[in-house]
A = this chain, B = another copy of it.
Amino acid sequence: MSQIDLKGIFPPIPTPFAGDAIAFDKLAFNIEKWSQTGLKGLVVMGSNGEYVYLSANEKRELIERAVELTPDHMLVVAGTGCESTKETIELTRDCAERGAHAALVVTPHYYSGRMNEAAMMAYFTAVADQSPIPIILYNVPKFTHVNLTVKLVAQLSGHPNIVGIKDSTGNVIQLGDFANNVDPDFNLLVGTAGALFGGLTLGCAGGVLALANVAPEICVRIYEAVKAGNYEAAKQLQLKMIPVNQAVTATYGVPGLKAAMDMLGYFGGDPRLPLMPSSEKEKSEIRRILTQAELLDVQ
């Protein structure tokens, strides 16, 4: 098993844009702020990073700059999953060369009907075999309409270069099922903040959470509270964060997450088209939710 410590909280960071280009100055600004919050590292080019809207060149430049901008105490995980095995391997290698510490690899999914256990096994094994850096599986049925089976995750957890999974289903029964069947040092990462407390109490190593972009301190506090056995405090924070997390994921998506970042002192900005920016009505609802959760002061 590759040596990498994934215990803690990671935000899957949005990609900031200025007009048609990536806004690297805003990226620097955000990373500087996140670096003071207790986060374990950053995930670049995940679903919240609009990775499907970035060109091959942009991805390489983005990871290079993100690595440069991130302080040494933090990890940089690169989202490198493409639809084809070939392109995923190439991108993973290029990200490794540019300093990424690990790669988050989403399940290929366009031909979902053919992405059976055998195809997935072959895919992740080929990628892990040829990657210079450790691989984290990325299971996000909400976007991919594919769900990795327990059997498959258990088998893949035995690969020396596959070190964990980000599971974004929010299904703690599935997390428990994974926990029962994977290799002991395999890292289960909760992929949505609503299930953070539940996942951590079942033994998950940490979380990769959209919410950690806008409320990193609270996500870290939940993590620390569970580690310290302070379940009641963790529960209270978890309950308070559920509506915020709902807003910045399921209800308002990446545009909502970016709007919330703008409200909370980060740079969010507009998503790339065809994702539409949040409407004024949506923004006002997001503001209400942030205020109610005491992330924003009453105005």
Contacts and interface: CB of A to CB of B under 8 A. Distances in A.
A180 B236 CA distance: 10
A43 to B, nearest CB: 17
Interface string A86-121: 110000000000000000000010111111001110
Contact residues on A (Cβ < 8 Å of other chain), bracket: 35 or more
Listed from nearest, the 4 A-B pairs whose CB atoms lie closest are: A173-B194, A85-B273, A53-B84, A123-B274
A223 to B, nearest CB: 15
A246 interface: yes
A126 interface: yes
Nearest to A169: B171
A197 B192 contact: no
Contacts of A111: 143, 253-254, 275
A159 interface: no
B195 A172 contact: yes
A201 B197 contact: yes
B195 A272 contact: no
26 contacts: A52-B83, A53-B83, A53-B84, A53-B86, A84-B273, A86-B273, A108-B274, A110-B143, A113-B142, A113-B253, A114-B254, A114-B255, A119-B274, A120-B274, A122-B274, A123-B273, A126-B273, A172-B194, A176-B238, A176-B239, A177-B194, A198-B201, A198-B202, A201-B231, A201-B235, A202-B235
A253 B272 CA distance: 32
A274 B179 contact: no
A265 interface: no
Interface in A18-55: 20, 47, 52-53, 55
A87 B58 CA distance: 12
A239 B56 contact: no
B238 A275 contact: no
Interface string A179-201: 11000000000001011011001
Nearest to A194: B173
B143 A20 contact: no
- Of A52, A122, A177, the most chain B CB neighbours within 10 A belong to A52
Interface in A231-262: 231, 235, 238-239, 242-243, 246, 250, 253-255
A21 to B, nearest CB: 11
B55 A118 contact: no
Contact of A176 (B171, B179, B242, B250): B242
Contact of A122 (B119, B246, B276): B276
Given A123-B274, A172-B194, A202-B239, 5 more contacts: A55-B56, A111-B143, A126-B273, A176-B239, A201-B235
A170 interface: yes
